[in-house]
């Protein structure tokens, strides 16, 4: 029974109990019924042979009893037994069906609790608590769960605060280092080749670290940004493509977009999400290829697909590319200036808007990233990382 659900276990146990009760009742009632039939037959036999003395016990198989009386009593006993077994089977079946629906109703709070747990996300912990108005059996369970939510919320808040503080503290010294390196390079244009190479390396790395701290700062401050703008996606995506056109021209990549829809959220954040997706597609596409962005509507969701013609993402990495600092090919990411936070920021922005981001399909001919956002008025359903 390990593979069965709790509802089916309760149903089978209840059906087994009903069946055992019916069998016991059938056996006892059957024995008593047969005995009473024997007594009735004996009485009838005795009164039909009054001159032959005291009546004896009735035996349907006895030759001394009339054939008609024997047949009638035997048929009555068989009919009684068959009817008892049919009633037993019917009562067991009805009891099992009633037990299934009754157990389902009794387990409804547990199903509701499981459904609530499935939607717990770092961004909605405060809304995931269980009401204290629950069944007595769930009282301690709900208190423990709400306590766990409070501890997680405090942990995530401390993590966000630490990330924001670290980014703030690092940004100033990095900017100072970058300015000093640039100033030294300007003041010493005739520096030896080794010194020039060192200055170039320092400039690249400080710029990369500055970009990383800026992204971390953005991620730590996401939840403080209001998301109540009505955004038309087509103009926003066209603006993103125009801003990234110089980068695309360097590799001879054509940019195209199609479709339009409305979403509610933060205009700067949705812009940043699309910017990161398109920039990522351009950086990892083959030269002289194409990047397409399409917007479609499906029910109460808006589907945004960003398709490139790159080298694809291995299947084992498709669920982890949105983790912070994860890079499929570290050498190529370093070559393109990636720090492994672009797609992680995309995931955070999509989740903040009640949406999703996933690798819809990927092969050696390219990758399609699918971003899903709720239409205005639709119920938000945050995703799991």
Q: The tokens 């006892």 sit on which residue?
A: 28
CATH of domain 136-219: 1.10.287.130
Judge contact between 124 and 223, C-beta under 8 A: no
- d(C-alpha 122, C-alpha 347), whole Å: 12
Which pair of tokens denotes residue 376?
């205005």
Tens-of-pLDDT digits for all 385 residues of the chain? 556 666 677 777 777 777 777 777 767 666 666 665 665 656 555 555 544 444 444 454 554 445 555 665 666 667 766 777 777 777 777 777 777 777 777 677 677 777 777 767 666 666 677 776 666 666 777 778 888 888 887 877 777 777 667 777 777 788 888 888 888 888 888 888 888 888 888 888 887 777 777 777 776 667 667 778 889 999 999 999 999 999 999 999 999 999 999 999 888 889 889 998 999 999 889 999 999 999 999 988 999 999 999 888 888 777 778 877 666 655 454 455 555 677 888 888 888 888 889 998 888 889 999 999 998 876 555 444 5
DSSP 151: H
DSSP 60: T
| Count of C-beta atoms within a 10 Å radius of residue 342 | 22
CA distance to 11, 99, 272, 278, 380, per residue, from 268 (Å) = 54, 55, 6, 15, 20
Q: For residue 259, how many C-alpha atoms fall within 13 Å in the half-sphere facing its CB?
A: 14
Q: Where are the domains of the chain?
A: 6-106, 136-219, 225-374
- d(C-alpha 329, C-alpha 336), whole Å: 11
Judge contact between 198 and 267, C-beta under 8 A: no
CATH of domain 225-374: 3.30.565.10
SS3 310: strand
| 174-189 per-position pLDDT tens digit | 888 888 888 888 888 8
Q: How many residues does the chain have?
A: 385
Whole-model pTM?
0.55
Angle at which helix 342-352 crosses helix 193-220, to 10 degrees, equals: 10
| 305-341 per-position pLDDT tens digit | 999 998 888 887 777 788 776 666 554 544 555 556 7
SS3 67: helix
SS3 69: helix
């Amino acid at each position: 029974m390990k593979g069965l659900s709790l509802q089916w276990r309760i149903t089978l146990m209840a059906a087994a109990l009903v069946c055992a009760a019916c069998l016991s009742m059938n056996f006892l009632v059957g024995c008593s019924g047969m005995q009473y039939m024997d007594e009735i037959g004996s009485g009838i036999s005795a009164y039909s042979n009054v001159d032959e003395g005291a009546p004896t016990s009735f035996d349907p198989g006895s030759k001394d009893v009339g054939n008609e009386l024997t047949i009638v009593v035997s048929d009555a006993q068989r009919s009684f037994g068959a009817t008892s077994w049919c009633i037993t089977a019917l009562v067991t079946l009805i009891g099992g069906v009633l037990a299934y629906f009754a157990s389902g109703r009794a387990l409804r709070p547990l199903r509701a609790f499981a459904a609530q747990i499935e939607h717990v996300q770092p961004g909605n912990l405060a809304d995931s608590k269980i009401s204290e108005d629950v069944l007595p059996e769930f009282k301690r369970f709900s208190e423990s769960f709400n306590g766990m939510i409070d501890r997680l919320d405090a942990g995530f808040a401390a993590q966000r605060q630490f990330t924001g503080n670290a980014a703030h503290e690092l940004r100033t010294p990095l900017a100072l280092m970058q300015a000093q390196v640039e100033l030294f390079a300007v003041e010493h244009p005739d520096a030896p080749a080794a010194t020039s190479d060192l200055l170039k390396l320092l400039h690249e790395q400080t710029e990369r670290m500055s970009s990383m701290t800026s992204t971390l700062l953005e991620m730590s401050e996401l939840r403080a940004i209001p998301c109540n703008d009505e955004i038309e996606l087509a103009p926003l995506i066209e603006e993103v493509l125009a801003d990234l056109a110089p980068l695309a021209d360097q590799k001879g990549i054509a940019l195209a977009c199609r479709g339009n829809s409305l979403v509610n959220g933060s205009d700067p954040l949705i812009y940043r999400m699309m910017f990161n997706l398109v920039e990522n597609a351009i950086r990892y596409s083959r030269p002289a290829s194409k990047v397409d962005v399409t917007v479609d509507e499906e029910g109460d969701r808006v589907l945004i697909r960003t398709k490139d013609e790159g080298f694809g993402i291995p299947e084992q990495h498709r669920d982890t590319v949105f983790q912070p600092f994860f890079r499929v090919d570290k050498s190529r990411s370093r070559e393109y200036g990636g720090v492994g936070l672009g797609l992680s920021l995309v995931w955070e922005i999509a989740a903040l808007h009640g949406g999703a981001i996933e690798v819809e399909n990927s092969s050696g001919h390219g990758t399609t990233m699918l971003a899903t956002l709720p239409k205005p008025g639709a119920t938000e359903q945050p995703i799991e990382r």
